[in-house]
Structure 1
Amino acid sequence: MVEETEVETIDAAFMRKTLKGTKIEPSFAGALSFVRRKYSKDLTGVDVAITGVPFDLSVSNRPGTRFGPEAIRKASAQHSWGPVWPWKFDPFDTLAAIDFGDCAFDWGAPGEIPALIERHIARIIESGASSLVLGGDHFTTYPALKAYASRYGPIGLVQFDAHRDVEPDEGGRIDHGSMFNYAVREGIIDPERTIQIGIRTCFDGEETYGMKVVYADEVHASSASDIATMIKQRVGDGASYLTFDIDCLDPSTAPGTGTPVPGGLTSYQALAIIRELKGVDFLGMDVVEVSPPFDHAEMTSNAAAMIAIELLCLKAWAKGAR
């Protein structure tokens, strides 16, 4: 007779009985939720709902980010082993977190998708939980921000990216290059509390829209602590959101993305900056633009998974983990 404990040594995504803690299982086997969190649609008592938005209909170059959530979940398995270096704590000893599954939509009705994403995130917010979105292209951040702004008013934004995504656009287009233009004009984000990190592209008119822009060369010339101090001073204590476009990283670190730009951050730089953001309790977070068809040896999805885990460590720190 097989003991129940033997059966439960794998597939924690379905078999775990508590939302907290880490249950070790082979990284090469078992059901692939994000870091083996329980798959659930029950948001009762949840601190963070991790959810995928497998959308890539707004890309301007190479498609494939619809496969991003799946790839990030797969890569996360090798990191689901307890304490996270160098935090030296397991965020799930503090956070009740679930894998909320993916946002559902009909790819044949693209005009309906933004509202469905917004509604999906609003459901998480209404429960009292925070969202950690696995993208999906960067347009998906726009409806997520709308959901938060509906509840909290204009949101401060921390954006890690190679592109500013504020290209001129009169509205109505589903485009991953202009949605933060919309977000400013519509009062969804507060440009005076917005900072864009790692930028290394030009844009029409060089209009900042009141945002603070930190170009990649300045990041390379600064310490992680200096960049984090800029971020903290910019967003202040108000409601804020962190979005990480994986093309902020250099293509040598993250080749699997739709619009790679040489000269970007290393994974060490990005992770070091995130760690220095202790004390900032972001309402929502995302990691977007992972395009597995252009990845190599899971480099990009692995980096994205680690960034997402570091963001969860920030949430755990804000809740008292040490």
Structure 2
Amino acid sequence: MTPPIGPIDSARTPRFAGRDGFARLPRLDQVEHADIVVAGVPFDSGVSYRPGARFGPNHIRDASRLLRPYNPALDVSPFDIAQVADAGDIAVNPFNIGEAIDTIQQAATDLTANGTRLVTLGGDHTIALPLLRAAAERHGPVALLHFDAHLDTWDTYFGAEYTHGTPFRRAFEEGIIDTEALSHVGTRGPLYGKRDLEEDRRFGFGIVTSADVYRQGVDEVAAKLRDRIGDRPLYISIDIDVLDPAHAPGTGTPEAGGITSRELLEILRGFVGLNIIGADVVEVAPAYDHAEITGVAAAHVAYDLVSLLALRTADEASAQGPAAGVGADRVR
């Protein structure tokens, strides 16, 4: 089998030059198959405060130029053991949220039709709903780990049911998430009332606050989350505002008291072996991102997600036997 095509060699082409895909990886149309696809969704029509996340995907890609092909924290060279490609951006209607949601769902369904795993760069958190719909089409109701300062299980904003603050309530109502395996991580800040928490519990969510991460430590938090998820198909949704504004100023609704980028990365690294079937990184708004701090954090988070998915892909190929090989039975 043809070995995976990896990033541009930085010893031959400087990091500030060459192709502009995530981590300078090949485009989807440049490879015969893809085990993992990175795609952008430049959409922020669902935000309730500061706009700008529509420019997030390419901001993350620009920051990802500094990523290197070996991940020492997970002891893996993800681009050697799985074919990873950048599918570019999903073109969505910025003036019609309903149409945008349908477009994202169909694109995600198409990109994952042959078992390819998808890491999506947002865009605002509205996009998590169609991504979860596409995941549930293939896997049934999925477990969900939601990293965010906010619950995102509110009902409506100004009467609108589809916004960046409502995707997980809609997902619960539609029966596309596994209510035995749901958790928010990193939540903090004021709420509209105690009822927010009561309704969230009714939907099945557990909560690990940012204060819990601080007091318990990343190893204990990761272990508890692993126990909650088990072997279920797992979708990971990461709002970059889960990080403290000191680590991610470039976002639409910042909240004080967040976790650090180190804590987020270490928690994710505790998920090796889980059945992760997809993920997103959203709410990066470059207009507020001085010195590219948020873009760098988001790029590293996406890189660790890709690394986890590559390890899972390799494990599955190994379980099928040496004849299967990485990327077997996957087509573009």
Normalising by the residue count of structure 1, what TM-score does the alignment of the two structures yield? 0.90
- 2:283 pairs, out of 275, 280, 289, with 289
Match of 1:196 in 2: 184
SS of equivalent residue, structure 1 residue 158 = strand
Counterpart-to-counterpart distance in 1, 2:76 and 2:186: 29
Say whether the 8 Å CA contact 1:281–1:314 is kept in structure 2.
no
- Alpha-carbon displacement from aligned partner over 1:130-156 (angstroms, at most 9, x marks no partner): 100000001101100001112221110
Whether 1:120 and 2:107 are equivalent positions in the alignment is yes
Deviation for aligned residue 1:167: 0.9
- Secondary structure of 2:296's match? helix
Partner letter of residue 254 of structure 1?
Answer: A
One-letter amino acid matched to 1:312: V
Structure 2 runs not aligned, ≥5 long: 316-332
Pairwise CA RMSD of aligned residues? 1.8
**Is the Cα–Cα contact under 8 Å of residues 44 and 127 in structure 1 kept in the other structure?**
no
Relative to structure 2, which stretch is displaced further, 106-115 or 241-250? Answer: 106-115
1:34 is aligned to 2:34? no
Q: Which range moves more in the overlay, 31-40 or 137-146?
A: 31-40
Measured in 1, the distance between the counterparts of 2:69 and 2:44 equals: 32
Aligned-pair identity (%):
38
Contact persistence 2:8–2:18 (CA under 8 A): no
Is the contact between residue 7 and residue 26 of structure 2 (CA under 8 Å) also seen in structure 1? no
Q: 1:317: Cα distance to partner?
A: 2.3
1:310 counterpart = 2:304: yes
CA contact (8 A) 2:41 2:92 kept: no
Equivalence for 2:123:
136
Task: For 1:64, give the aligned amino acid.
Answer: G
Q: Note the 1:243-254 alignment, pairs <5 A.
A: 243-254=237-248
The partner residue of 2:170 within 182, 191, 197 is: 182
- Whether 1:267 aligns to 2:254 is no
1:233 maps to 2:227: yes
Kept in 2, the 8 Å contact 1:135–1:288? The answer is yes
- What displacement does 1:46 show? 1.2
Say which SS state the counterpart of residue 183 (structure 2) adopts.
strand
Which structure is higher in RCO with an 8 Å CA cutoff and minimum separation 6?
Answer: 2
Instruction: Pick which of 182-191 and 172-181 moved more.
Output: 172-181
Q: TM-score scaled by structure 2?
A: 0.87
Q: Distance in 1 between matches of 2:107 and 2:7?
A: 27
User: Which amino acid in 2 is paired with 1:23?
Assistant: I
How many residues in Structure 1 have an aligned counterpart in Structure 2?
A: 304
By how many angstroms is 1:44 displaced? Answer: 4.9
What is the aligned partner in structure 1 of residue 326 from structure 2?
A: none
Q: What code does the residue aligned with 2:22 have?
A: F
The offset of 1:42, in angstroms, is 7.1
Deviations 1:32-59 (A, max 9, x none): 1000111124785311010000000000
Q: Which runs of 5+ in 1 are unaligned?
A: 1-16
- SS at structure 2 position matched to 1:221: helix
SS in 1 for 2:33: coil
